[in-house]
Amino acid sequence: MANFQFIAEKERVLYHHHVLLITTGSVASIKAPLIVAELLQYQNVKVEVVATKESLAFYDRADVVKAGGRVWTDEDEWSGSYKIGDPILHIEMRKWADIVLVAPCSANTLSKIAHGLCDNLATSLLRALAPTTPTYIFPAMNTLMYEHPLTTEHVRIVREVVRYQIVGPIGKNLACGDVGLGAMTEWSDIVKIVVDQMKLTRKDDNRQYLYARRGLFETTSDYSKLSHLGLSI
């Protein structure tokens, strides 16, 4: 998105719900395109994604774009020289957001939030967020990382001091081979939290979405089959 200026006032759409998804360096970031695609099956929803550098190892930003969202990174925040009066991306994005999801939240980003660090677009945005903006954290990490006493303390601070909602993690077979607590809450349950919080209504016809979702799972980015079926997204 380099060279594109994001200005909250222009990007916000009347009577719409503006969902900001932050992805971090956990394998569970692979679910980001699915979360975006599902959210956009509801009426009057706009989705923007802010990705840490590491999270982009786990999904193709083109899949988010195909699902109808956009991906923003540190390069967009620091894309050129700055002049007084220029929009500042992390400020514009926090003005834009009605709800923020950090899904997945890595141990590293959880620690940064707990300590107030803001050294990238994602954490700068979170530090600048109005406390009234509903913010949900979905931790995802190896079981021992999650059971580490520092993580316990970070979770406590984020819940009690920063006052974000922490949901999960859940127990299952983890990508690293361990079995136990540490997996991100199911992506469909994350969407449900937004649907319930914003009281969203589903669009009528979801046929195209079902094909698109299958495409995301099986071929990651091959939507050409849709045209054979006379469908487009």
Q: Which of 88, 161, 176, 229 does the annotation list as catalytic?
A: 176
Q: Is 176 designated active site? A: yes
| Nearer Cβ to ligand FMN (69/182) | 182
Which range, of 25-33, 34-42, 161-169, 205-213, touches ligand FMN by CB under 6 A? Answer: 25-33
Contact between 143 and ligand FMN by CB under 6 A: the answer reads no
Q: Kindly state the smallest distance separating residue 25's Cβ from ligand FMN, in Å.
A: 3
Residue from 19, 39, 129, 141 in contact with ligand FMN (CB under 6 A):
141
Contact between 52 and ligand FMN by CB under 6 A: the answer reads yes
Whether residue 18 contacts residue 97, with contact meaning beta carbons closer than 8 Å, is answered with yes
Fill in the per-residue mask, 54 to 73: x = in contact with ligand FMN (CB under 6 A), - = not in contact. Answer: xx------------------
Q: Which two tokens stand for residue 109?
A: 């980003």
Which one, of 63, 61, 72, lies nearest residue 96 by Cα? 72
C-alpha separations of 83 from 26, 86, 87 in Å: 35, 6, 9
Which range, of 23-31, 124-132, 198-206, 225-233, touches ligand FMN by CB under 6 A? Answer: 23-31
Which one, of 69, 76, 4, 7, lies nearest residue 32 by Cα? 69
Contact between 124 and ligand FMN by CB under 6 A: the answer reads no
From CA 121, how far away is CA 91, in angstroms rounded? 10
From CA 185, how far away is CA 149, in angstroms rounded? 21
Q: Would you name the residues annotated as active-site residues?
A: 176
